[in-house]
Chains A and B, each alone.
Chain A
């Protein structure tokens, strides 16, 4: 698949497309691919310090996009701009656009609290709510916002199954959320994000606190989720990026250096900086 075949919906002029049914089969390889989200000329600041400069990137619907780059290059900041978590930190600001289904999420049509339900997030360190049970953790997205899912038990089971955690915790749904192992806790956080049926899932180094076995489980899980959710994964691990993603973006010092199909980017990097990075010459 080449980049040119990604169809970027023209923003703001076109009416918002109807939300697609999550269970639709993935598009065939040669069909034009739709960008679920687009980052367009995005710059992000902490105070006056620009940590992202003019980044533009598409995220193809129902595929996995990896973001790689040396520490401090702005990977976390990029994904946090995509669900407007960046602005929670005082003194931060953003310019440029982030399109979800062709409409700018900073444009005012969507409250950030609604956006974050559609664009879920999994953090580097598993952060289940220790005061809630496993079950309540899964339902947290509903409970916190004062809403009730139509069938809570079904939501819990479905989310835990999709997070590949159901078999391990089905007998202790009432156990405290803090009682799980690190890998289980991270999958619980994934289940929690999935339970509100997001269109997009942002994962910021989801495996960095986990051992290789737990990491393998999460990677498997990402494969299983990819047909139904658009996934963005930040990772330091190039093998991981190669294993799980279809497209990869390489960020360096706040700028997008290279974006392309993962296979191509790792075998024939276009930019010398990308080559230096993936061959381990820096970062």
Chain B
């Protein structure tokens, strides 16, 4: 170690600047939370719990209830997970347990490309390719078969909760796949060998030892996917139909928290209106923050145990 005082002073300053940068990152996060909270203060304090449970969104009358948007966010995310979880974890199983390393590399790169496509391009594709396809072919067929079910009621518009959920599924699959793959890779081979040596088939090895070992990490992967689905804005805005309503049908148009903010922010000239939109952001942020923090803890636990 260099003992020259000037040098050690530089060293201290250097270390201090690193610490400051670290604190800077934390400050940015705190700033986001603080600014959004304080902007929403008026709406949240005036509306109280009614802000969450109200179903009317009337900027002219200054009546703001977030429930339909919250409902839309939750329904589209649920649909997305229902589709994405089996496909994403299935793909991860293929990549970590079955594919040769060359195939796994290629497929892994493709999955990462899928994750890198900007969401507005997903939205464009959803609006001009997916929605017409669903409207003209899929939705009529589903209605012909299960038309009596309320979740498939209403005219086939192409846009709506179901379409948004499907598009979200395509967008979150890469997240679930790549995190699950990491988690499965962290399962030690000794666990697999132990099960093989007892006469288990490959399926039984995966089901009986790999999945239980990786369980909390897989949950974490799913929750990270959920976080992305909840916060996704552009693609959903383009295919959800933008109607401030609550409907049981997946074919009905609706709205999500993020889509309301995106569509209405530029027009929100009264402070009360702006504050209500920030209130939606608080609901969204709160949900995703809790989910994300929890998910990362779960993923880290599996990787740490391995």
Contact = CB atoms under 8 A, between A and B. Distances in A.
A binds B: yes
B190 A123 contact: yes
Interface stretch (B35-43, B155-163, B194-202, B259-267): B194-202
A85 B200 CA distance: 12
B190 A116 contact: no
A189 B198 contact: no
B199 A117 contact: yes
A4 interface: no
Contact of B197 (A130, A146, A193): A193
Interface in B181-231: 188, 190-201, 204-205, 208-209, 212-213, 215
A132 B209 CA distance: 9
Given A130-B213, A131-B213, A143-B208, A85 B198 contact: no
A118 to B, nearest CB: 8
A98 to B, nearest CB: 15
Interface in A195-234: 196
Interface residues of B, number: 22
B194 A196 contact: no
Contacts of B213: 129-131
Contacts of A132: 212
Contacts of A141: 198-199
| Residue of B191, B196, B205, B212 contacting most chain A CB atoms (<10 Å) | B196
A192 B193 contact: no
Interface string A130-169: 1110000000110111100000000000000000000000
A128 B205 CA distance: 14
A90 interface: yes
B148 interface: no
A129 B212 contact: yes
Nearest to A88: B196
A283 B188 CA distance: 29
A145 B197 contact: no
A192 B199 contact: no
B198 A140 contact: yes
B6 interface: no
A257 B212 CA distance: 44
A88 to B, nearest CB: 6
A7 interface: no
A120 interface: yes
| Residue of A127, A140, A143 contacting most chain B CB atoms (<10 Å) | A127
Given A116-B196, A123-B194, 16 more contacts: A85-B196, A85-B197, A88-B193, A88-B196, A113-B200, A116-B197, A120-B197, A125-B190, A127-B190, A127-B193, A127-B194, A128-B194, A129-B191, A131-B212, A145-B200, A196-B199
10 contacts: A83-B197, A85-B196, A114-B199, A117-B199, A130-B213, A132-B212, A140-B195, A143-B208, A144-B199, A144-B205
Interface of B: 100, 188, 190-201, 204-205, 208-209, 212-213, 215, 305
